[in-house]
Structure 1
Amino acid sequence: MEEKPKEPKMTITSFASINEDLVQNIIKRLPASSFASAACVSKSWNQICNQILSKPKFASAFSLNPDEKVALEEVVNKVLSEPIRPHFAIANVIGSGVDLREKLDFLATKLGSQTPIIVSCTSGIMGRDVVTGEHREVMLEEYWADGESNSCFGIILTVGFLPGLKVDVIPLIQPRKVHRLALVDDFVMNIRHYAASVSGWASPVGIILFGDEDADQKPVMEKLHHAMSRDTVIVGDERAQFLYRSGVESRNDYGISEYFPAAVALVFARDQDKPCGTGEIQFHAALSSGVSAIGPRYKAVSVRKIGSETGRTTLLTARREGEHEIQDGQRILDDINNELVNQIGRPDLYIGVTEQRKCFIGSEKSRVMTFLVFHGVMGGDQEHLFADGVGIRTGDYFQFYHSDPTTALSSCNEVSKNFRKLKLDWSSRNCLQAGVSDNVCSKELVGGFVFSCCGRGESFFERCNVDSSPFLDNFPGVPMAGVFCRGEIGRGFSVLNADEGPEERTLHCCLHVYSTAYLLVSYTPAPPEH
């Protein structure tokens, strides 16, 4: 019987035989969902994915598509178009009658139920357009100028991957009818406990805070400032509408009618169990002030609080510092308005009250701290000066401040100069390290946030993108996201505002007016092992 000739052996090509560099080149081009699937294929692919995402990464985009569902899909698809493992997400929307719950649920589906997410309504957004890639600042009132407010919608979405940090959402839950300081203490303690549990240190690296529009954030910030180390940076939006989702399911149960979330904190704490070879993430902060002091200092002589449907007001009389005559509200305002006679337009007026108060958490030892607290001036008559909010006491000193675009522009330029110094400092250190080692541990910026007063923007400066300019001029290719707020939260500015004098350092201000707070996130790779 004739023997059949043997068929030649065929070479089988599989993914296992593909060069590792080629695999890495393919995987790093995948969108986030496919990248996550690739990491589950094998141990070697998982290692490749970890190499690709070995350092922090931010992704941010905004859409002004009037179709809310389309806009949301556009920004999600954009931020997830490249490899990223979301450790947190922040979505800020502008528009009328926006369903925040719908946005939150959609994001949780796309980003994963364990991803901490905050969704808020805001007065404006700033960032890069998902379609054109152009950076823009968009204010709500400017966006509605065409009168078609019902069709207007905008959203900016930011996701971040921060190896070496742990991130979660921690809420302040308050009863709707009664404000209880004890629950503020619990909120602060919860933040400290979370930070201590993941880092071994009670103060986190940073906090992004969103306050409810109907809740007073003054006691919250005073207690946070007292309880946290000086290095903890806190920025945020003082008065917003928001919803959130925590990675811990029990924190998400806030639908009880008699309670509401008065604030929510996105907490960033160092990971004490971070893998060997993970670099160091650092938060940096700066502030551009947009108010100028005017007139003499006054001392409050009588103080009375009244409540109304629109909020709480303080009625007060005062005397000039060093004088004995008590002045009524109308006389005080006449003197201040006389000094403002050369100002263009009608600036907004505030009083900055120097408050010396005892601060403590629970049964811990108290300490006296001095805060500068701003109150909007609502008017005055032949008896009293009317100030927005409460907390002023007899004997407190205060000074008038007014919104000032010249001061704001100068302050923005100063922040930009400080950013430039920071960048040059990083570059010089990187050059020195390059002379020592071929594996340079170069420090770089990976992302940032901007929280600006809704009174600023193009109409305030009479030119566009001023509040973004310190970031854009110095770090043009780095992802950033910003919002325009009705109250800017900012604490921990000593890192970049090095020109402050001793008096400014002891006078603490955490809730600002007509300001812009900047948060930069930098990364230094771990030194190479020899």
Structure 2
Amino acid sequence: MANKNRSSPSSATPKLMEVSGFSLMNEDLLRNILSRLPAISFASAATVSKTWNAACCHILSRPKLSSAISLKPLPLVALQEVFDKVMSEPIRPHFAIASVGPGFEIKDVLQFMVEKVRSRTPIIVSSVKGILGRDALSHEFREVKWIDGNIDEVPVNTGIVLTVGFVPGLKVDVIPLLRQRKAPQGSMIDKFVQDIKSYTSSMSGCTSPQAIIMIGDGSVDQKPILEKLDYAMSMETIIVGDERGQFVYRSSDVSRNVGTNKKHSPDAVALVFARDRNKARGIGNIEFHFALSKGVSAIGPRLKAASVRVQDSYTVTWLTARREGQQEILDGQQMLEDIDNEMENNMDCVDLYIGVTRRRNCSVGSDKPKMMTTLALHGVEGGDSEYLYVDGVGIRTGDYFQFYHSDPKTALSSSRNVSSTLRKLKLDWDSKSSLSKSTIINAVDKKEAFGGFIFSCLGRGESFFGQLNVDSSPFLDNFPRVPVAGTFCGGEIGRGCTSLTANGDEGGSARCHLHVYSTVYLVMLYTPPEH
């Protein structure tokens, strides 16, 4: 069908039916033929007749995720390669996500996707620090990071992972957080949260979606955004993504498609998955599961911020502290010396953070404020005889904090725990779908994973663990034939039920949704309808 001189299915089929008796084709044979078509030809075939449309709907009655990566040196070649791969089988894209290396022009990638897929398909394109996925040609799984302009001696401008998803029973759209120059950030965050709730309510009848994949602008503090989302959403809503990205998007609602200009600029973008209240009969249920592999360990005593200074022109906080229960004020040099002693003079070998326990009133719009306790992680920039310097703002005098350091042993152990937990969960699905020996059951009727996403810290990978594919192994070991795509991030967004969270969150009872040195997993499951 790629040949320009060949007739399309819609024009050729009536003649074939007249002269070849195609109308008498066996239903199973018709489905077999249609199931071998690439996505674009499949879409054309679905318009031929009611019979063909019914056959196509039967073929695509279950959800499907299709994903591929390419490391070809020319961006356009790489983009075409992954697009051809993900669209090589029948699929009707309900959403598309492309993550690319720094050599790509993300606006060009978006334009390519807009021209190739359905006009109302929501799309996000982001520039990332690295990619995870299966090669479009070799099918080999790769974890690739861009460091110092090279990846495994491959030019810097290579690397793209493209994922398209078909999720019947769900409604999906892109909702941006648009900053207006004259509006306070707080009011724009409130509108963002309310937009997500309104969209979800209109689609499903409830205000909390099943899941959100979120990309934040790297120059914007995402902590207040995640705190308000956490406040407003049910605990069943899973939120994953990249805290510090660069992105463009296309929403199915054209009123949301506001590009960067003098008046508007997107601070974040959310791909929202909501239940479809008008789901057709015969469509099963899609579930999302969240898992977290942490990669930092606490060290040293608990401290209390004694003084805090922030200069408006900087995004660095200066602070002094007291040990819990003591009055002596510690400067930055004293705090760092104490941590260095705790680490036996190995502090230079790790990345250092402070985890600040924040108790703040939170609300959205006119809603009643609620006290939220969160753990906010701030990178340590240094210290002297006056202050400790940490990245970011939002710390107050009286806040408690503790030092954390990157720890490959903790990360490896946590990764293994995630793999074990996913294995137990998979066995639980299998046991619940099993019936007595006297009962005959179709094997396809059990719950199954059909796709997933991975968001991993740029600091992890082979250089951190000393071995390949540790970050992807929990998913690959348990779901070896299930499509999965991922990115390496400058900060990992992960909010969800803790039942699959290995070793708990970094802050114990405090809720932490912006992580460091972690890997976040989103597993997508499907349960067929009962017969």
Residue matched to 1:487:
491
Offset at 1:177?
7.5
Check whether the contact 2:210–2:237 (CA below 8 A) recurs between aligned residues: yes
Check whether the contact 2:144–2:151 (CA below 8 A) recurs between aligned residues: no
Q: 1:351 corresponds to which letter in structure 2?
A: I
Q: 1:400 corresponds to which letter in structure 2?
A: F
Residue matched to 2:52:
45
2:287 pairs with 1:289: no
Render the CA deviation track for 1:455-485: whole Å, top value 9, x for unaligned: 1111111111000000011100000001000
2:464 pairs with 1:460: yes
Check whether the contact 2:340–2:346 (CA below 8 A) recurs between aligned residues: no
Check whether the contact 2:65–2:451 (CA below 8 A) recurs between aligned residues: yes
Q: Considering only CA atoms, is the larger Rg found in Structure 1 or Structure 2?
A: 1
Offset at 1:423?
0.8
TM-score normalised by structure 2 residue count: 0.93
Offset at 1:101?
0.9
Aligned pairs for 1:224-303 (under 5 A) are 224-303=229-308
- Indicate the SS of the match to 2:109: helix
Aligned pairs for 1:299-338 (under 5 A) are 299-308=304-313, 311-338=314-341
2:115 pairs with 1:109: yes
2:42 pairs with 1:35: yes
Residue matched to 2:177:
172
Q: Which moved more, 1:352-361 or 1:174-183?
A: 174-183
Residue matched to 2:14:
none
Offset at 1:345?
5.9
Distance 1:229 1:296, change over 3 A: same
> Aligned equivalents of 2:62 and 2:149: distance in 1?
37
Distance 1:435 1:343, change over 3 A: farther
> Aligned equivalents of 1:417 and 1:55: distance in 2?
27
Q: 1:346 corresponds to which letter in structure 2?
A: C
Check whether the contact 2:284–2:529 (CA below 8 A) recurs between aligned residues: yes
Residue matched to 1:185:
190
Q: 1:360 corresponds to which letter in structure 2?
A: S
2:410 pairs with 1:407: yes
Render the CA deviation track for 1:434-472: whole Å, top value 9, x for unaligned: 865534630000000000000111111111100000001
Aligned pairs for 1:67-86 (under 5 A) are 67-86=74-93
Distance 1:146 1:290, change over 3 A: closer
Offset at 1:432?
2.7
Structure 1, unaligned runs of 5 or more: 1-10
> Aligned equivalents of 1:501 and 1:315: distance in 2?
26
Check whether the contact 2:292–2:502 (CA below 8 A) recurs between aligned residues: no
2:227 to 222, 226, 246: 222
2:140 to 126, 129, 134: 134
> Aligned equivalents of 2:414 and 2:346: distance in 1?
18
Render the CA deviation track for 1:388-435: whole Å, top value 9, x for unaligned: 111000110000000000000000000000010011011111213886
Check whether the contact 2:75–2:157 (CA below 8 A) recurs between aligned residues: no
2:50 pairs with 1:63: no
> Aligned equivalents of 2:348 and 2:473: distance in 1?
25
2:520 pairs with 1:523: no
Aligned pairs for 1:84-95 (under 5 A) are 84-95=91-102
Q: Which moved more, 1:84-93 or 1:249-258?
A: 249-258
Residue matched to 1:158:
163
- Indicate the SS of the match to 2:89: coil
Residue matched to 1:211:
216
> Aligned equivalents of 2:246 and 2:399: distance in 1?
32
> Aligned equivalents of 1:297 and 1:507: distance in 2?
14
Check whether the contact 1:168–1:246 (CA below 8 A) recurs between aligned residues: yes
Q: 2:167 corresponds to which letter in structure 1?
A: L
Distance 1:133 1:490, change over 3 A: same
2:399 to 381, 392, 396: 396
Aligned pairs for 1:501-520 (under 5 A) are 504=508, 506-520=509-523
Check whether the contact 2:37–2:88 (CA below 8 A) recurs between aligned residues: yes
Offset at 1:153?
1.3
> Aligned equivalents of 1:472 and 1:255: distance in 2?
38
Check whether the contact 1:287–1:493 (CA below 8 A) recurs between aligned residues: no
> Aligned equivalents of 1:288 and 1:336: distance in 2?
24
Check whether the contact 2:236–2:497 (CA below 8 A) recurs between aligned residues: no
In the comparison of the two structures, how many residue pairs are matched? 513
Offset at 1:495?
3.4
Residue matched to 1:54:
61
1:438 to 424, 441, 455: 441
Check whether the contact 1:55–1:163 (CA below 8 A) recurs between aligned residues: yes
Structure 2, unaligned runs of 5 or more: 1-17
> Aligned equivalents of 2:438 and 2:345: distance in 1?
57
1:372 to 366, 371, 375: 375
- Indicate the SS of the match to 1:376: strand
> How much identity, in percent, do the aligned residues show?
57
> Aligned equivalents of 2:438 and 2:421: distance in 1?
26
> Aligned equivalents of 2:465 and 2:121: distance in 1?
38
Check whether the contact 1:284–1:495 (CA below 8 A) recurs between aligned residues: no
TM-score normalised by structure 1 residue count: 0.94
Check whether the contact 2:454–2:522 (CA below 8 A) recurs between aligned residues: yes
Check whether the contact 1:173–1:254 (CA below 8 A) recurs between aligned residues: no
Offset at 1:258?
2.9
Offset at 1:146?
7.1
> Aligned equivalents of 2:140 and 2:455: distance in 1?
19
Check whether the contact 1:307–1:313 (CA below 8 A) recurs between aligned residues: no
- Indicate the SS of the match to 2:379: strand
Offset at 1:109?
1.1
Check whether the contact 2:212–2:270 (CA below 8 A) recurs between aligned residues: yes
Check whether the contact 2:376–2:512 (CA below 8 A) recurs between aligned residues: yes
> Aligned equivalents of 2:522 and 2:515: distance in 1?
15
